[in-house]
Copies of this chain bind each other. A is one copy, B any other.
Amino acid sequence: MKFKVIPGAVVAPLGFQTGGVFCDIKRLGTGKGSNKGPKRDLALLVSDTPCSVAGMFTTNQICAAPVKVCVSRVAKGITQAVVINSGNANACTGRQGLKDAREMTRLTEKALQIPDGYALVGSTGRIGVEMPMEQVRAGIRDAASQLGRTEAHAAHAAEAIMTSDSRPKQIAIEFKLGGKTVRLGGMCKGAGMIQPGMSATGARPAALPAGLHATMLAFVTTDAALEAKALQRALREAVAHSFNRITVDGDMSTNDTVLVLANGRAGNSAKECSKFKSKDFAVFAAALQFVCLELAKMIVRDGEGVHRVVTVRVSGAKSVAEADAAARAVANSALVKTSWHGGDPNWGRIIDALGYSPATVVEDRVDIGYSAPGARKILWSLKRGQPTRATFRDLCAAVAPTEYDLHIRLNLGVGEAVMYAADLTEKYVDYNKGDVTDPTTLGG
């Protein structure tokens, strides 16, 4: 399904306003920490009217206060606004953290004059530091007074949620739903601690998927009309095929959150779009997945120190779970990731990672090859466990682009999985080792 990309991001859908301000959450004076001047650090996202809401949250057992607040509020299915800050994750902050997260929602509800319980909260930044509430209070007041529906407003919000991101990440699309024109917009942030494994309640699956392991935050708006239950179902599927399929460094954050707000202003039939078997639901679900996947890929491309993005496509595994395990083992292997960085078509490290993954792998069945992103023409380096006649020069050319697909066929079954993965660079290490003589460089 093709969707028309339009400007406006989170305010492209009718009936939404947003804005982002600087309120000095790192409490470092005027941008001393970042050496880049003051950076916006608090955003508001508001619908003119109450919305259906759905959310997916980190399954990390150490889960930040804003996540806890969102999980219980999203369960009610209705919301109207989100307050988001960068610079402090409000994670591992105990009772005070929970109190602060709740105060942030209360202040937002007051400033926007929306009902009690109608605001959600998202935070990202350093772990284990109490929220500077004086600054946050001023920020919420300030942001509420600067809301708007322009591309500039969306850009300010997208900037305010950034941490180590080098650029804002936004998209919006337009499509038809039951004869009506509907819009979906989104913004997100990522960079480090990126291998989300989110569920609707933040609860871990009974059998923990192998390798489940970013703070990533994503906020999606739509003027489509549909019930919260249908929205949650569409989001769960969309996240399973997008945010939960990316890895920068294999670390799963305490704060990963995706929220979708649907205010129904497009005037389509909410009843029709909420039927799981309707065409409308299928179209909406596909559109939501498209937006989530585009945002997820932006996170990988802009991951800390990332130079190359490799789409690992595993097929022929004994099961989907085994395909997933194989793809994650390859996508998170330090040796595979450094070889991607070096432009080295090293299939030995790939087959080694496959071999220690929980997936069943038989050496003389394994095919490994490369293609341009999404292309059908694959240059195989290994077929049935044997090096092909492809030359080292040709293989090097295949892994030289900044984005390509790595195809792995296990030839044992029909299980398939995809991971969108980043290379491992000196820049990643340099960024994350920080500088203890200047603690403001130390990440979350």
Contact = CB atoms under 8 A, between A and B. Distances in A.
A318 to B, nearest CB: 12
A442 B338 CA distance: 11
A354 B252 CA distance: 10
A351 interface: yes
A60 B366 CA distance: 15
A301 interface: no
A167 interface: no
A89 B348 CA distance: 10
Interface stretch (A37-45, A46-54, A423-431): A423-431
Interface string A355-383: 11010111110000000000000000010
Interface in A249-285: 249-254
Contact of A253 (B344, B352, B424, B425): B352
B197 A356 contact: yes
Interface in A331-350: 332-335, 338-339, 341-344, 346-349
A87 interface: no
B352 A433 contact: no
Interface in A123-147: 126-128
Contact of A361 (B61, B192, B338, B363): B61
A372 to B, nearest CB: 19
A197 B353 CA distance: 13
A208 interface: yes
A245 B348 CA distance: 24
Interface string A375-405: 0000000100111000010001000000000
A191 to B, nearest CB: 11
A63 interface: yes
A91 interface: yes
Chain A interface residue number, banded: 35 or more
A435 interface: yes
Residue of A343, A429, A439 with highest tally of chain B CB at under 10 A:
A429
Contacts of A354: 61-62
A342 B250 contact: no
Given A251-B352, A387-B128, A363 B429 contact: no
A61 B322 CA distance: 14
B435 A429 contact: no
Contact of A127 (B213, B343, B352): B352
Nearest to A353: B251
Given A344-B434, A424-B429, A429-B426, A92 B363 contact: yes
B436 A355 contact: no
Given A92-B351, A94-B386, A385-B92, A249 B363 contact: no
A319 interface: no
Contacts of A59: 356
A193 interface: yes
A338 B127 contact: no
Contact of A334 (B347, B358, B396, B432): B432
A212 interface: yes
A433 B92 contact: no
A55 interface: no
Contacts of A338: 428-429, 432-433
A89 to B, nearest CB: 8
B342 A434 contact: yes
A168 interface: no
Contacts of A91: 348, 352
Contacts of A252: 352, 355-356
Residue of A127, A382, A396 with highest tally of chain B CB at under 10 A:
A127
A429 B436 CA distance: 22
A63 B355 CA distance: 8
A383 to B, nearest CB: 12
A436 B343 contact: yes
Closest 8 pairs (CB-CB, A-B): A127-B348, A342-B433, A62-B355, A338-B432, A252-B356, A249-B334, A60-B355, A426-B426
